[in-house]
Amino acid sequence: MDDLPLYPLIEPYRAGMLPVDELHTLYWEECGNSEGEPVLFLHGGPGGGLSPRHRCFFDPAHYRIVLFDQRGAGKSTPLGEYRNNTTPLLVADIERLRIMLGIDKWLVFGGSWGSTLALAYGQAHPERCSGFVLRGIFLCTQEEIDWFLNGIRWFFPEVHHEFAAGVPADERGDLLQAYAKRLFCDDPEIYIPAARRWSRYEGRCLFLRPDPEAIADFSSDKISIGVGRLEAHYFVNKGFFSEDQLIRNMDRICHLPAVIVQGRYDVVCPPLSAFRLHAAWPGSVMKVIDDAGHSGYEPGIAEALVAATDKFRTDRGF
Residue 232 to residue 253: CA distance in whole angstroms? 28
Average pLDDT over residues 125-141: 98
With a cut of 60, say whether residue 173 has pLDDT above it.
Answer: yes
Mean per-residue pLDDT, 280-288: 97
Residue 318 is predicted with a pLDDT of: 43
3-state secondary structure the chain: CCCCCCCCCCCCCEEEEEECCCCCEEEEEEEECCCCEEEEEECCCCCCCCCHHHHHHCCCCCEEEEEECCCCCCCCECCCCCCCCCHHHHHHHHHHHHHHHCCCCEEEEEECHHHHHHHHHHHHCHHHEEEEEEECCCCCCHHHHHHHHCHHHHCCHHHHHHHHCCCCHHHCCCHHHHHHHHHCCCCHHHHHHHHHHHHHHHHCCCCCCCCHHHHHHHHCHHHHHHHHHHHHHHHHCHHHCCCCHHHHCHHHCCCCCEEEEEECCCCCCCCHHHHHHHHHCCCCEEEEECCCCCCCCCHHHHHHHHHHHHHHHHCCCC
Span 25-49, pLDDT tens digits: 999 999 999 999 999 999 999 999 9
Q: Phi and psi at residue 203, in whole multiples of 5°?
A: -60, -30
From 59, 69, 93, 266, active-site residue: 266
Q: What's residue 209's pLDDT?
A: 87
Beta carbons of 6 and 302 less than 8 angstroms apart: yes
Compute the distance between CA of residue 155 and CA of residue 157 in angstroms, rounded to an integer: 6
- Residue of 76, 112, 224, 295 marked catalytic: 112
pLDDT of 316 reads: 56
Average pLDDT over the chain reads 95
- Tens of pLDDT, residue by residue over 201-247, are 999 999 998 878 877 777 788 899 999 999 999 999 999 999 999 99
Map out the domains of the chain with their CATH numbers. 14-140+240-314 (3.40.50.1820), 143-239 (no CATH)
pLDDT tens-digit map of 99-121: 999 999 999 999 999 999 999 99
112 is catalytic: yes
Residue 161 appears among annotated catalytic residues: no
One-letter amino acid at 226 equals G
Q: Give yes or no: 251 in active site.
A: no
pTM of the model: 0.96
Task: Give the integer Cα–Cα distance in Å for 305 and 287.
Answer: 9
d(CA 267, CA 293): 7
With a cut of 90, say whether residue 60 has pLDDT above it. yes
* Choice among 93, 115, 294, 295 that is catalytic: 294
C-alpha torsion sign, points 88, 245, 276, 293: positive
